[in-house]
Structure 1
Amino acid sequence: MFAGQHYDESYYAANGQLGDRPALRYYDRLVGRYLNPRHVLDVGCGTGHLLARMARHRQADGLELSSYSASVARQVSPGSTVWEDAAVLPPGRFDAFTAVHVFEHIPDEPLAELLAQLRRATTPDARALVVVPDPAGAASRLHGSRWNALTDPTHINLKPHAEWLDYFDAHGLRVVRSCSDGLWNFPYSSLPMPFDALRHGLPMAAQFLAGRMWLTPGSGESSLFELTWAS
């Protein structure tokens, strides 16, 4: 289910990801604050909107296995190179990479191969920002079977936060810091929407506005990890 043909225009339209969106502003700020790269690779860059944001401040290129998505990303971020095969990434080129809602689409063994290719393509001190849904998080508990991460059939590798920690450790990555994105996919209760948002969304809003990684893992929809290669 992680083959590129699944990620066509209808996929992005159904997920509200054909255009830019506020969350990408937050991720771009995290990249600047915590990774501070000279040359960043956006892994699974999709239609290129995070890539374009990052390219405003630094050199940014993409990796995208969907030919449709890669072609759109090249138009959205015309100053970026977008590769469609990790095996041809130039060695030692990047001092950071991002993978925002990518790893949950890839089974463990192909993901391990991808990480090995990323290690070859990055510098030894490279930093990474990885974002994945958290099936043990507060949003999953509050929404139950309606949790939005369960509605995407391409989400074939949903791990709780703690299991990702183990996976990264087993594949040569050290966690520098981690957090949750908080609760943003309202409603989470039977309260009217404005009251539900006030009750559940204030921590998320504060973290978003600050552009930092503050919230306790497990307190929201997804897990965020700042990673570096283990020595």
Structure 2
Amino acid sequence: MATTDYDTFANAYAKENEANLFNAYYERPAMLGLAGDVSGRRVLDAGCGSGPLMAALRDRGAAVTGVDASAAMVELARARLGPDADLRVADLADPLPFADADFDDVVASLVLHYLQDWAGPLAELRRVLRPGGRLMVSVNHPGTYPIVHPDADYFAVTRYSEDYAFDGEVAWLTFWHRPLHAMTAAFTEAGFRITSISEPPPAPDTPADVLPPGLEPGRSFLCFLFFALEAV
């Protein structure tokens, strides 16, 4: 089986993910807020990583299935969630191993920005959702790209790489920037209706020493962009 970038630093990433600002106090609480009451719902965690969001959804009463392209991440998720957890190694760029209309909801946390092509993956996510089902997405905020890369063309779909430190280990991640209008067009062309676009603040219980200097509790900052979509 081929490895992914995350296979090489899965443990370090998973450890960092547990308590850092961006995941533990910002993206994950915001995604859970979008999902709302999931009790009794069939949920696909598309890009589940080491499973913290999947665990939180399961604790809220959802029947959750997780997929990730990284076999190492899936093994960490299995260690967290137990041997009976429904976890698969699957790449969103390929057909998903599920029947049509298998799920009530799909969550895709910080995964689509790794993909150059959104048409195929979004078509598959629409296929496995029942009509009226929900897709909840978080991606790198497109507005940060021209700030970090002032000479780049905001309106072009562009590949770029950045280095991150995970638990003291440096890793390079490669993303695809796409402007906001390209994101919304991809969603609607795949058969989704956009019900909300949000830029939330970090969670109310975020420790002050975790926030960036100068950011007061309860204030938003440019980092990720969140979409709630309905399958039509």
Output the aligned Cα RMSD: 3.0
**Counterpart-to-counterpart distance in 1, 2:199 and 2:15:** 21
**Counterpart-to-counterpart distance in 2, 1:26 and 1:87:** 26
What are the superposed Cα offsets for residues 29-68 of structure 1, whole Å, 9 maximum, x if unpaired? 32125x7771110100011111011011111111111111
Please name the residue that 2:229 is paired with: 227
> Quick one: which of 177, 187, 195 aligns to 2:196?
177
**Counterpart-to-counterpart distance in 2, 1:128 and 1:119:** 8
SS in 2 for 1:156: strand
**Counterpart-to-counterpart distance in 1, 2:140 and 2:51:** 20
SS in 2 for 1:165: helix
Unaligned residue ranges in structure 2 (runs of 5+): 151-159, 164-171
Please name the residue that 1:74 is paired with: 78
> Quick one: which of 109, 114, 120 aligns to 1:113?
120
SS in 1 for 2:101: coil
The yes-or-no answer on 1:197 pairing with 2:215 is yes
AA matched with 2:191? G
> Quick one: which of 151, 156, 162 aligns to 2:162?
151
SS in 2 for 1:203: coil
Please name the residue that 2:187 is paired with: 168
AA matched with 2:12? A
What are the superposed Cα offsets for residues 113-160 of structure 1, whole Å, 9 maximum, x if unpaired? 2222222222111101100011314x963x667xxx962554432223
Higher helix share: 1
Q: Among the aligned pairs, what percent are the same residue?
A: 22
The yes-or-no answer on 1:84 pairing with 2:86 is no
| Preserved CA contact (<8 Å) 2:139 2:224 | yes
Normalising by the residue count of structure 2, what TM-score does the alignment of the two structures yield?
A: 0.72
Higher strand share: 2
**Counterpart-to-counterpart distance in 2, 1:67 and 1:163:** 30
**Counterpart-to-counterpart distance in 2, 1:66 and 1:55:** 21
Please name the residue that 2:138 is paired with: 131
| Preserved CA contact (<8 Å) 1:83 1:89 | no
**Counterpart-to-counterpart distance in 2, 1:64 and 1:122:** 18
What are the superposed Cα offsets for residues 195-229 of structure 1, whole Å, 9 maximum, x if unpaired? x122xx5323xxxxxxxxxxxxxx62111000012
> Quick one: which of 64, 67, 78 aligns to 1:63?
67
